[in-house]
A and B are shown apart, each in its own frame.
Chain A
Amino acid sequence: MRTIKKWIGTVLALSFFLALSCDNDITEINKNPNGVNLDEANPSFLLAEVMAKTAKDVGDKGYAEPLAAFVQYVQKDSWGNNEYDWEGSGWETYYNNLRTADLAYSRSLELDMKFHQAVAMIMKAHLFGLLTDFYGDVPYSEALRGDSDVDLPKYDAQETIYKGIIAELEAASALLSGNQSQLEPFLPSQDIYFQGDSERWIKYANSLTLRYYMRLSEKDPSFASAGVQKTLAKPLIASVDEECAVPYVGVSPDDSQPSNGRSGTPSDFTRVKPCQTLVNVLDGLNDPRRAIWFAPVAIPIKVVDPAEVPGGGGDVLDNGVRYINSDSLADNFTIYDPETWYQDRLDGLTMIDTSSVYVGIPVSNQGTEPYTYNLNPQPTQGGNNVHVSEMNAQFNEVEGPNLKARILSYAEVSFLKAEAALKGWGTDAEENYNNGIQASFDDWGIGALVSEYMDNDGVAFDGSTEQVMEQKWIANFSSASEAYMDWRRTGLPNLRPGPFAKSEVIPVRFVYPDNDRNFNRENYNAALSSLETTEHTDDVPGYVENDTPWSKPWVLQGVTEPW
């Protein structure tokens, strides 16, 4: 009897335990409460992410990254990429962003949200456009399918991608225009480009289409010509107010002016210095944008006759000017001259830039020169150089009236139209040229100065493509990637790397990232055959086969520019 009781007790205890253990289903609790399920995602939140990350990338590449040195807006005083061998920064930004854009697209389709669908199409096309701009052939048709069936996507031909994205942009534009009256609203606060204004999205899509038709102007003129003419008839960005330029909000490094000294360390700002190439051009045009972009040199240098040195001596600082007795200069010194400096440096001469206001760093100086340049008395990496101009102090801030990620400007559209007109694909070259300059001045807050500027030597329209592209290059300041694409297409302005660059020509593409070379090897290898090996392909050793910055992608094959 006692034993039975004990056994009953045991069973009771056990059932108590089992009761505790069966309170809920074990698989149910593994549902992640910390994020939004993919099948519940709101497209506007996804698209805001895509827009923000795209703005950041374009803005970063535009101002201080190596492309800005390639197109010779700025140089870095150390840790720089002044040797003109930059191989790109990887393409994760683009595919990461595309992954989110892709979900935004499929969710919009599911929910039948045409506005969002079109925006997703535009953003995808833009991102694939940037990818093929920089790399050449890239995974496109099979990309972004790691979650379903394709782990190792093949690379598509650059021609396919360019024409594919143009078709996408046109389709997106048509989708918006065709459904204008019945578009669902796009939350204005979520649309950081155009605040939910579908008109502006249409103009943006069309302007982007114009950009990409023009991208093919040299490689496939007949396709480009037809496309440009067709597009010019559509609504395009027609004022600075309509352009795609996203003001930095300055809350975190992700939404702040790149390379500012406030959210980083002060030297993030001071490491970026004006490039002498742009300084020379602006000096030549007496361009007021100099003062908006650069700061006057702290202590100018004057090389003078012995008698003019205050108090005599060889090297004296007086009243904010450093006077150097010209007799005391050794043979290996020379005064910087824009015409001869290249040869002077090859001859081993040390340059002294005696400009009284703006002193930039010449391209591709050797070794430590960027920070020792112009007799810097305290030459340290990231340190001060009182004899070289800094960037304008506004770029030291996280945000400001002029600080924007300039994605597609009215100035660009105007110059595109001017260039098209010169090609006979459009009209009003001069008007558009003038509009472009006006737009740039407006954009930088000095619109009132434009009329005086137009009178300067070399500014008034002379009908040459060189002039249009020079002004476009100036106007694209802080949008270096677009200036780089223009230079690559037209060879204008005629930029060359400095005397000590790794190659005598500027790179024309980015090298495929290690990630794909390592993990998508077969498709990567297949893509290499589409790259044209040039005489400069092997200028710098250490690359895999012809995957170097000096091999030509399809768009440059068989054309004469840039080299």
Chain B
Amino acid sequence: MKKRNLPILTLFFFSMLIGTLSAQREVTGVVSDTSGELLPGVSVVLKGTVTGVTTNFDGNYSISVPDNASVLVFSYLGMSVQEIAVGNRSIIDVTMEASSQELDEVVVTALGISREKKSLGYAVSEVGGDDIDNVPQENALNALSGKVSGVAINSTGAPGSSVSMVIRGSTSLSGDNQPLFVIDGVPIFNTLNNVGGVGSDNRVDYGNAISDINTDDIASMTVLKGASAAALYGSRAGNGVVLITTKSGKSRKGLGVTINSSTVFDIPYLYLDTQTKYAAGSRPYTPDNFPTNEYGAIQISETASAWAGPALNQGIKAIHWPYTAQELESGIPVARELRSHNNARNFFNTAITTTNNISIQDNTEKINYRLSYNNLKNKGFIPNTDLNKHSINLNSSINLNSAISVSSSLNYTKTHSDNRPAGNRGANPIQAMYELAPHIDVRDLKQYWLPGFEGLFQNSPFEFGDDPTETEWNNPYYLANEVNNGFVRNRFYGNVRGDWKITDDFSAMLRYNYDEINEQRETKISSGYTNEINGAYGITDLFRKEINVDFLLTYEKKFDNWDFSVSLGGNQRKFDASTVSNATKNRGQGLLTPNLFTLTNIAPTNLDFVSNKQEKKVNSLYGLASIGFMDMFYLDVTGRNDWSSTLPNSNNSYFYPSISGSLLLNNVFDMGNKVSLVKLRAGYAEVGNDTDPYNLQPVLNSGGTWGNASLLSVPGNLLNAQLKPESQTSWEVGTDLAFFGNRLRLNGTYYESDNRDQIFPVNNPISSGYDTKFINAGLLSSKGVEAGLNATILANSDWNWDMGFVFTKNRTKVVELADGMNSITLWTDAKGGAITWLGEEIGNIIDAKMVRVEDPNSPYDGWPIIDDEGFENSDSTLEDEDGNRVAPVIGNFNPDFILGMTTSVSYKNWSLSMNFDWRKGGQFVSQTHWYGESDMHTQRWLDKLHNFNGVGDIPTYLKENEEKFLSADGEFYVLVGGPTAEEGGFPVDDGGITLSDGVFMPGVQGEYDDNGNFVATTENLGGPGTAYTRYQDHYGWDFTRTALFDSDFVKLREISLSYTLPSQSLQQIGIQDMTISLFSRNVILWTKAGIGIDPEMAFQPESETQGRSGIQFKQGIERFNVNPFSIPIGFKVNLSF
């Protein structure tokens, strides 16, 4: 596509340069405002060209025009644009009128009702046009990152992965807190839970459904952040609403065709900082001290998970994988020099994403339509991974007569992939690649079948003399190529609506909305995967359907200075879902015939089959009324009643009211012409949330089989037939300000919301027969600030420079829980967890305590207490007997704030725009490090060991630096020593061999006497009595802190440089518009942690929902979600006829 365009492009450049200067004549004039003041800097442009001038200091201009048919366009910030036909005049004086265009900006609000932005009593944000078009994003939500205040957007992985959007913080403990997405009035299905996988430890994120939307079809997105804005959506409004308006044929007159094409190359450049100093093994043997073996040479322990073996790149020779056929045949291995390799760089590919879009639109008096087709192809960083998407959209509208119109929006998307990579631990090729010992060259693994056992066993490092088929390691190329997680997702959504203008004041709308998703997943695992040695196969069919039927009656009237409108509506929602899955049992017998992927190739006893159906219905009636007075004061009242099938008869009807108002002070008082807008607003609303189907009465679950017996078990979670809806009450106050003819715009909102009656399971003693019980309880309080600042710094005929900032800060506290419940667990992992105690903040990460001397009279007060083997003690007690937390809070996965910056500069036909995103604060746990470093895999861990060669007497030195090495406020988990004597290691005898790979942890040995006084037996400071361990045995495995990192980062979300070809020359060959651009996106500029991991991707996929968070991702923790950092380079061409 692109290539074919190149010659045409060249032609356009030339035509632009040469230009066409024919008979010209001068037009002059003076420009002033309505008060007669002369306006300097007004842009005067010849329409359809880039030719233009600006008025001088006295408001005068002079421009040459080709002919009488020319049209001049006068524009000045804060003033209405004027187009004036030249005719035969040579002097044209112009009076510019203050524009109210920006202030009269119309936004789409709840139920698709268009409103003037100034009349709203709550905060809404809109992103549209260039903000979406500039840089192609596979997922529409990514186009919102850094552009909307109050919103936190996180990608959980590479393109095609789920994207999480949380507005104004978490409000529900039981759900995934994703907002409701409404496309052209159609509420569409989306959850963050689309992780699945057949086979043991094969967890695949298939991407959440919101990614089915074609970004190229989006005209604008409006974010209704608070309950006040969203109250009309009732029980779905708790997490905010994103209204998406797709492009229609109305945007221009007549027939047109638009073509977009873009290609992005994601070039990896930064990887995880694994160490390349030592081979796999438990001790850094050298030829002199290696224990005898039958081959008389150092032999690398290829099965060792630790990388604490002999040194690399030192000329040391050892027997190590791969072995030549000759060696294997003769049984005599050859020792070869140990070298390190740059495996990550050799393994990852440059990812390529190509997007093509074509649309046809037409607009006549009777009918308008837009038909678009989009195609996306992605090849991932990991070999053999891809993503493909096709989508078709047809928006049309027919005016039957002056009163009745019928319109529809129909969308079909097919997303498919032959292989999505697994995340977390297990079948994740990235894990396998990073766990490959550094003495092995990943390229030796490209032939991923064991020679002679093709299709049965992996080619993977094994110790000479061992059975190569009994490997415990996965070959990353095997995982990439032979664990195939394919899927096809067909989605159809759309609506048909009729609008009837019954009288001038009274109108009615009736709409039928349909949304259906069919996802078929097929996983094929060949023989040889360590967790499924005989392979695995499975097909999963997911079906989701939602039908909404709604109507709205609206009456609008203007009486003198009063604007008045009332609407009444109703909605019926029906949701159906079903899942059918057939697969081999996890860690079962695998496939009968290797690598034949059919269900019939699974032994009946080994077949795991699941089917599941869900149905839900909600009926609603709602109304709203609004009153406006002289553009000064507006008041909105809404009310909605829902009847949900998921709640018991007695509690299934609930009412949600809201009220909001705004005051435009600039229209009340005369504030001079520098002030364009001073608006104060406030809103209050109550909304809520029902629950999932079938949470009222328990049923028996199938417990599988034992031989031919079928098992049925009683579930351990006690359901509750008395549930009531969750409720959220919230209020917000805010202001919108604009100055200097709208060149400087500010807005700010403060909000608080209280979420009560959360539906979640609480713990029961299992001796009662039930370990959890569904209840309504709790209070979650959120408060936050959102602010935006936009400025037009420069605006004249050649230059335009806009800058904008958005600021987001949110805090959510747990104020109440159920009786007797002191904390709420979102997840636990890596010895810690995201657990929040009463009065504390959601997102807190807790850890075990390091046991230290607690005796103020002891000289060792605060020192770690070391056991006689040299290890620290940890105390993982979470809370005391009164339920107060004792576990230390070591961080929080939510940021302190998010600051987004956008800027765009245009000069004539060139424009440059950028969008930065800075997240300040917050922490995440890297299990990649926790696991890897426990096996000495990172350079960071080697660097952390203290080499005290040359400090003199070590005990004295440590005591002199007590604050740093021994106190609780000092460095966490101090280790002195190293793998070799040169690196400060101490002699350690093990298995009869003494090597200098010893380390010790500074602290004190001893215990408390009966009076509670600490009695030291030995100072563990490197003096006599110090307990040394091999450094490979010493890691802070009992602490989450060992692998806790700051999440702060700055990302360049988008940058694009584009050039719009002059339309005059294009029009001669029938092209209306052509823009070419060079762009990049999601470039990580800086992370505070500096460990080669994108903190945003600290979302660990799990196959089950986690803790009480109701989502399949653990937020704030990652395990091998470590795609390389990349520099994307993209090109885009936009062409319209």
Report which A residues bind B (CB closer than 8 A): 3, 6, 9-10, 13-14, 16-17, 20-21, 26-27, 29-38, 41-42, 45-46, 48-49, 51-53, 55, 91-92, 95-96, 98-100, 102-103, 138-139, 143-147, 150-153, 189-192, 246, 249-255, 262-267, 314-317, 322, 330, 333, 350, 366-368, 372, 375-384, 398, 513, 515-516, 518-521, 542
In Å, the complex CA distance between A308 and B914 comes to 80
A314 proximity list for chain B (CB < 8 A): 292
Other A-B pairs, 10, CB within 8 Å; known A46-B713, A100-B714, A398-B589: A3-B503, A21-B570, A21-B619, A29-B615, A45-B712, A55-B706, A146-B773, A152-B768, A189-B708, A372-B990
A53 proximity list for chain B (CB < 8 A): 703
A252 proximity list for chain B (CB < 8 A): 585-588, 606, 704
Contact A143-B767, Cβ < 8 Å, known A21-B549, A381-B305? yes
In Å, the complex CA distance between A379 and B282 comes to 7
Q: Is the CB of B768 within 8 A of A145?
A: yes
- Sample 25 A-B pairs with CB under 8 A, ordered by A number: A3-B503, A21-B572, A27-B648, A32-B697, A37-B699, A38-B699, A48-B712, A53-B703, A92-B716, A92-B766, A95-B766, A99-B716, A145-B769, A147-B769, A151-B764, A151-B768, A249-B707, A251-B588, A251-B589, A375-B991, A378-B303, A378-B304, A379-B282, A516-B765, A520-B765
B770 at the interface (CB under 8 A from A): yes
Q: Is the CB of B699 within 8 A of A35?
A: yes
Q: Which of A13, A251, A367 contacts B551 (CB 8 A)?
A: A13
Closest to A518 in B: B763
B588 proximity list for chain A (CB < 8 A): 251-252, 263
B800 proximity list for chain A (CB < 8 A): none
Contact A96-B712, Cβ < 8 Å, known A29-B615, A330-B992, A380-B306? no
Q: Which of A96, A251, A264, A317 contacts B606 (CB 8 A)?
A: A251
Q: Is the CB of B572 within 8 A of A317?
A: no
B672 at the interface (CB under 8 A from A): no
Q: Is the CB of B292 within 8 A of A249?
A: no
B698 at the interface (CB under 8 A from A): yes
Contact A266-B693, Cβ < 8 Å, known A14-B551, A92-B766, A378-B304? no
Contact A102-B698, Cβ < 8 Å, known A251-B589, A315-B291? no
Q: Is the CB of A146 within 8 A of B503?
A: no
Nearest chain B CB to A396 CB, angstrom units: 10
Contact A34-B613, Cβ < 8 Å, known A17-B570, A146-B769? yes
Contact-size category for B: 35 or more
In Å, the complex CA distance between A267 and B712 comes to 33
Closest to A379 in B: B282
In Å, the complex CA distance between A333 and B693 comes to 68
In Å, the complex CA distance between A381 and B1030 comes to 13
B364 at the interface (CB under 8 A from A): no
A315 proximity list for chain B (CB < 8 A): 291-292
B704 proximity list for chain A (CB < 8 A): 252, 254
Contact A48-B303, Cβ < 8 Å, known A10-B553, A21-B619, A91-B767? no
B816 proximity list for chain A (CB < 8 A): none
In Å, the complex CA distance between A20 and B570 comes to 12
Nearest chain B CB to A154 CB, angstrom units: 10
B357 at the interface (CB under 8 A from A): no
B299 proximity list for chain A (CB < 8 A): 378
Closest to A405 in B: B706
Contact A192-B709, Cβ < 8 Å, known A13-B510, A13-B551, A252-B585? yes
Contact A190-B709, Cβ < 8 Å, known A13-B551, A27-B652? yes
B587 proximity list for chain A (CB < 8 A): 252-253, 263-264
Q: Which of A35, A191, A265, A383 contacts B531 (CB 8 A)?
A: A265
In Å, the complex CA distance between A100 and B553 comes to 54
B255 at the interface (CB under 8 A from A): no
**Total residue contacts A-B, CB cutoff 8 A:** 271
A98 proximity list for chain B (CB < 8 A): 769
Chain B positions 680-735 with a Cβ under 8 Å from a chain A Cβ: 693-694, 696-714, 716, 718
A14 proximity list for chain B (CB < 8 A): 551
Q: Is the CB of A17 within 8 A of B767?
A: no
Q: Is the CB of A99 within 8 A of B820?
A: no
B769 proximity list for chain A (CB < 8 A): 95, 98-99, 102, 143-147
B244 at the interface (CB under 8 A from A): no
Q: Is the CB of B645 within 8 A of A377?
A: no
In Å, the complex CA distance between A174 and B1093 comes to 67
B301 at the interface (CB under 8 A from A): yes
Q: Is the CB of A52 within 8 A of B617?
A: no
B649 at the interface (CB under 8 A from A): yes
Q: Is the CB of B763 within 8 A of A20?
A: no
In Å, the complex CA distance between A252 and B702 comes to 15
Chain B positions 468-482 with a Cβ under 8 Å from a chain A Cβ: 470, 472
Closest to A520 in B: B765
B58 at the interface (CB under 8 A from A): no
In Å, the complex CA distance between A13 and B512 comes to 13
B771 at the interface (CB under 8 A from A): yes
Nearest 3 CB-CB pairs, A to B? A35-B699, A146-B768, A520-B765
B444 at the interface (CB under 8 A from A): no
B365 at the interface (CB under 8 A from A): no
Q: Is the CB of A32 within 8 A of B619?
A: no
Closest to A398 in B: B589
Nearest chain B CB to A381 CB, angstrom units: 7
In Å, the complex CA distance between A143 and B768 comes to 5
Nearest chain B CB to A89 CB, angstrom units: 13
Chain B positions 607-623 with a Cβ under 8 Å from a chain A Cβ: 611-617, 619
Q: Is the CB of A138 within 8 A of B767?
A: yes
Q: Is the CB of A267 within 8 A of B472?
A: yes
B433 proximity list for chain A (CB < 8 A): none
Closest to A56 in B: B706
B352 at the interface (CB under 8 A from A): no
Q: Is the CB of A35 within 8 A of B282?
A: no
B869 at the interface (CB under 8 A from A): yes
Chain B positions 276-332 with a Cβ under 8 Å from a chain A Cβ: 281-282, 291-294, 299, 301, 303-306
Q: Is the CB of B869 within 8 A of A317?
A: no
In Å, the complex CA distance between A255 and B707 comes to 8
- Kindly supply a per-residue 1/0 record for chain B positions 735-774, scoring 1 wherever the CB is within 8 Å of any chain A CB and 0 otherwise: 0000000000000000000000000000111111111010
In Å, the complex CA distance between A375 and B292 comes to 11
Q: Is the CB of B990 within 8 A of A379?
A: yes
Nearest chain A CB to B1092 CB, angstrom units: 27
In Å, the complex CA distance between A190 and B708 comes to 7
Nearest chain A CB to B650 CB, angstrom units: 10
Q: Is the CB of B711 within 8 A of A48?
A: yes
B645 proximity list for chain A (CB < 8 A): 26-27, 29-30
B563 at the interface (CB under 8 A from A): no
B218 at the interface (CB under 8 A from A): no
Closest to B716 in A: A96
Q: Which of B303, B698, B711, B991 contacts A49 (CB 8 A)?
A: B711
In Å, the complex CA distance between A516 and B763 comes to 10
B174 at the interface (CB under 8 A from A): no
A367 proximity list for chain B (CB < 8 A): 869, 1029, 1033
B655 at the interface (CB under 8 A from A): no
B94 at the interface (CB under 8 A from A): no
Nearest chain A CB to B1102 CB, angstrom units: 19
Q: Is the CB of B713 within 8 A of A190?
A: no
B189 at the interface (CB under 8 A from A): no
Nearest chain B CB to A250 CB, angstrom units: 7
A26 proximity list for chain B (CB < 8 A): 617, 619, 643-645, 652
B605 at the interface (CB under 8 A from A): yes
In Å, the complex CA distance between A250 and B303 comes to 27
Nearest chain A CB to B851 CB, angstrom units: 9
Q: Is the CB of B770 within 8 A of A146?
A: yes
Q: Is the CB of A36 within 8 A of B606?
A: no
Looking at B553, B616, B771, the one whose CB has the most chain A CB atoms below 10 A away is: B771
Looking at B292, B614, B693, the one whose CB has the most chain A CB atoms below 10 A away is: B292
B502 at the interface (CB under 8 A from A): yes
B553 proximity list for chain A (CB < 8 A): 10
A145 proximity list for chain B (CB < 8 A): 768-769
